Structure 1
Amino acid sequence: MTSTSKLDKALWTNITRLKLLTKLDAPVKFIFERSPFDDEQDEECPTVRDEYLIIGKILPESDIFKQGAFQIEMKLIPTYPIQPPEVRFITPIYHPNIAEDGKFCYQLLNNASKWKEGTTLVEVVKTIVKHVDNPDADYAANYGKEYMENRPEFNRKALEMVKKHALPRNAFRILLFVYQQNRHTFLFLAILASTEKQMATVQLNKELYNNITRLKLLNATNSDPKFVLEKSPFDEDNVEAAASANTKEIFITGRIFPESEIFREGAFQIEMKVTPSFPFDPPEVRFLTKIYHPNVAEDGKFCHELLKKHAKWTNKASLVDVVKAVVQHIDKPDIDYSLSLQLGREYMENRPEFNRKALEYVKKHALPRS
């Protein structure tokens, strides 16, 4: 293939598909680490090169090789996809289909008659994992005879190499993805992990990034409700904090602007605490600004049925829905979820006195709306 633009398009499509192999339901696991687009400002137009390198980790599943992860390199030349990539193991491995220099030997990549132009890099990765788990003696570069005639000795040596050289499967790599949308750059911190539990963190980050992007839109003058995002895990100047928060709790801070007669006199800072089980479990909401309200406890905790796991909450609910519920029930208190019996009774039986105290709190503690 002579057209660089066609090569770029094929590469971009293939790399996008490779990144999907971090999903929990992926047929094989591949932790993507480096591509030709990483060093380019314009991801769709990489510099013309004699070769293109893609690096990542595979996670085999056979008894011996599932003990570790293995870094591989796929080298593509400008004639790709007409000609196959070369695959080399960067992590040393004792295997019949892998030469001492790490070159992977298999008919798909070594036999021109087997390679087809439509073969994807995902299929290449599948082939590699399959034949690491199930060696093909017909394409043995090393140790083929031992594998066929003395399997116990082969297994002993292979396991020894795994323990000595393989990468830990529970290690994670912090990658900073740069998303470009409408000429604005958003930073998305993802934890790419080799265990299913850690891979779930990627999904959490994706959900959070999408939710926070929607929250930012509530800053528009005509938004209903209005919410000013002040702090999130994806702040451009707080990348390290995001990394440290991913495995425990994540905090999102911002201001709401109620519209009822009393509470529209000020703005109120709230904090949403999200756990790794989000969106399957609701966030916890706490008022940082003091407020006199039946649905807000003295420590600031906000109570509403939407935030009860076994009541109204579903994994389809968004943080925008949470903000809407908070504002709605600040403006219209829900006595069924009152956190103070005294406040709830006062609101129901002596509204003028409740209003007086609530307004006093607003004047004393609320933030300016402008």
Structure 2
Amino acid sequence: MANATKRLQREYTDLVKAPPTWVNASLVGDNLQKWKASVQGPEGTPYEKGTFNIDIDFPNEYPFKPPTIKFITKIYHPNINSEGQICAEVFSSWSPQLKVTDVLNTIRSILVDPNPENPLDAEIAQIFKTDRNAFNKTAKEYTKKYAK
């Protein structure tokens, strides 16, 4: 646990000192193992102009086990289910070299480029593959309704 605390303290300090322009992160209370982040929807995507709130929970075994990430803001996305869980390769191929910023970058990249071949929501993935206009329209409606 001591290693996790040191590592999380360093990552949190780095993120606060030099945050990416599209994300804000803060601790929940003073608990280093619970973070809240808000991610701006990337330009040129149906999520543009949206702000998506995310909970990040770090296990005691961090960095040897990945954090648990959950979207609190409802989002229409093939790789994020209605409970806010994310299907992202970074979690299945987790490595202790990865940092929170890598996780946040992965989240941003799946917003820019969803992977319908590895969906958490098969129905949304099917719409994404077969009718991109319908997908974009619904994703924009969700963004407008839930991510403002």
1:211 alignment partner in structure 2? 11
Contact map agreement 1:295 1:303 (CA 8 A) in 2:
yes
In structure 2, distance between residues paired with 1:217 and 1:320: 12
Pick one of 233, 249, 252 that aligns with 2:35. 252
Report how far residue 218 of structure 1 moved: 4.8
Report how far residue 301 of structure 1 moved: 0.6
Aligned ranges 1:305-324 → 2 under 5 Å:
305-308=89-92, 312-324=93-105
Q: CA RMSD in A?
A: 1.6
In structure 1, distance between residues paired with 2:66 and 2:51: 24
Aligned ranges 1:1-370 → 2 under 5 Å:
201-219=1-19, 223=20, 226-229=22-25, 231-232=26-27, 238-239=29-30, 242=31, 250-259=33-42, 260-308=44-92, 312-367=93-148
**What percent of counterpart residues are identical?**
24
In structure 1, distance between residues paired with 2:146 and 2:77: 13
Q: Which has the higher contact order (CA 8 A, sep 6+)?
A: 2
Q: Deviations over 1:153-202 (max 9, x none)?
A: xxxxxxxxxxxxxxxxxxxxxxxxxxxxxxxxxxxxxxxxxxxxxxxx21
> Could you tell me the TM-score, scaled by structure 1's length?
0.38
Q: Deviations over 1:207-243 (max 9, x none)?
A: 1101111222454xxx3x62111x315xxxx34xx3x
> Could you tell me the TM-score, scaled by structure 2's length?
0.92
> Structure 1 stretches (4+) deviating beyond 3 angstroms?
none
Q: Where does the alignment leave 5 or more consecutive residues of structure 2 unmatched?
A: none
Q: AA paired with 2:102?
A: D
The structure number with the bigger radius of gyration is 1
Instruction: State the SS of the aligned residue for 1:315.
Output: coil
Alignment coverage as a number of residue pairs: 147
Report how far residue 337 of structure 1 moved: 2.2
Report how far residue 316 of structure 1 moved: 0.4
Q: Deviations over 1:80-138 (max 9, x none)?
A: xxxxxxxxxxxxxxxxxxxxxxxxxxxxxxxxxxxxxxxxxxxxxxxxxxxxxxxxxxx
Report how far residue 334 of structure 1 moved: 1.1
Q: Where does the alignment leave 5 or more consecutive residues of structure 1 unmatched?
A: 1-200
In structure 2, distance between residues paired with 1:296 and 1:217: 29
